[in-house]
Amino acid sequence: MKVFENHVAVVTGAASGIGRALAERFAAAKMRIVLADIEQAALEETLRAMREAGATVAPFVGDVSHASEVERLADLAYSEFGAVHILCNNAGVAGGGGAAWEQSLETWQWILGVNLWGVIHGIHAFVPRMLASGEEGHVVNTASAAGLRTGPFLSPYYASKHAVVALSESLHFDLQLAGAKVHTSVLCPAFVKTRIAESGRNQSTAAAPGQFPEGMRQRVEAGTPPELIAERVWEAVRDNQFWILTHPEFEYLIRDRVEGMLQRRNPVPHVFTVPQNTNNPE
């Protein structure tokens, strides 16, 4: 996309972290924004701050794991602004630390419900309308570096993010074959300074989400500012770039995984460590 001013973006998970940074970056490009989040208080604070900064924004409180709520989000966006040009399926959660067989079914359902079904619902509710408009558009699905690599302790999270990567690639091909003016990107960040380690605050089931691994929590707290991630996303949408890989220091892990597959090597875990010299990883 080359034109942003007066166009419309919808961002899920918009009240904090990467989602809020995306909304603020699009607002800086003079877009109109629909802010969607499950946390009403945080959403109201984001709405207030963005309006005070001069942004044109509309709020939506809802749970992306429910198809009917994402349909309502689409209805609101089109009734409020008449179009949607950028869709960021960004809402995400993590939790359930422990071995794969120790994860509760409730945790599996919660994480897949938000991370994967939230993206599916967004595509289902918005893409047909975006295509029908005949206008240029872009879909950004937030996956993770965890969607390109795996490891222990967070199997529902890894599974959900791998599925989002695969879904995004398939959507990319489908849109190409349809000759559509709508394009796709998949965002695969590593550690970003967000509140994802506190995702359990939004779990709607009675079951606890499980202990978030402490090593990963520390990496998140010291992670990349979300504003830098949002800038990379904006550039990718502008340049029609599919892959948004924001942490070059993790690319050796992706390369090692793919090479291991081709060499038929058994996987070896890399537990929350990143070497200082990525040209010669230990």
Question: What integer is the mean pLDDT of 136-154?
Answer: 94
Task: Report the chain's mean pLDDT, rounded to a whole number.
Answer: 89
Number of Cβ atoms within 10 Å of the Cβ of 114: 25
Of 1, 133, 17, residue with least CA distance to 77:
133
The predicted-structure confidence for 242-263, as pLDDT tens digits, reads as follows: 999 999 988 999 999 999 999 9
Question: What integer is the mean pLDDT of 117-141?
Answer: 98
Domain that holds residue 67: 8-262
State residue 217's pLDDT score. 59
The predicted-structure confidence for 173-199, as pLDDT tens digits, reads as follows: 999 999 999 999 999 998 777 766 565
* Residue of 78, 157, 158, 252 with catalytic role: 157
State residue 203's pLDDT score. 57
State how beta strands 86-89 and 137-142 pair. Answer: parallel
- Tell me whether residue 270 is in a domain: no
The predicted-structure confidence for 37-79, as pLDDT tens digits, reads as follows: 999 999 999 999 999 999 999 999 999 999 999 999 999 999 9
How many structural domains comprise the chain?
1
The answer, yes or no, to whether residue 281 has pLDDT greater than 50, is: no
Q: How confident is the model at residue 202 (pLDDT cuts 50, 70, 90)?
A: low
Active site residue 158: no
- Tell me whether residue 134 is in a domain: yes
- Tell me whether residue 100 is in a domain: yes
Q: For residues 259 and 270, what is the distance between their CA atoms, to the nearest angstrom?
A: 15
- Tell me whether residue 272 is in a domain: no
- Tell me whether residue 169 is in a domain: yes
Q: Which residue has the higher pLDDT, 111 or 281?
A: 111
CATH assignment of the domain containing 239: 3.40.50.720
Q: For residues 7 and 23, what is the distance between their CA atoms, to the nearest angstrom?
A: 13
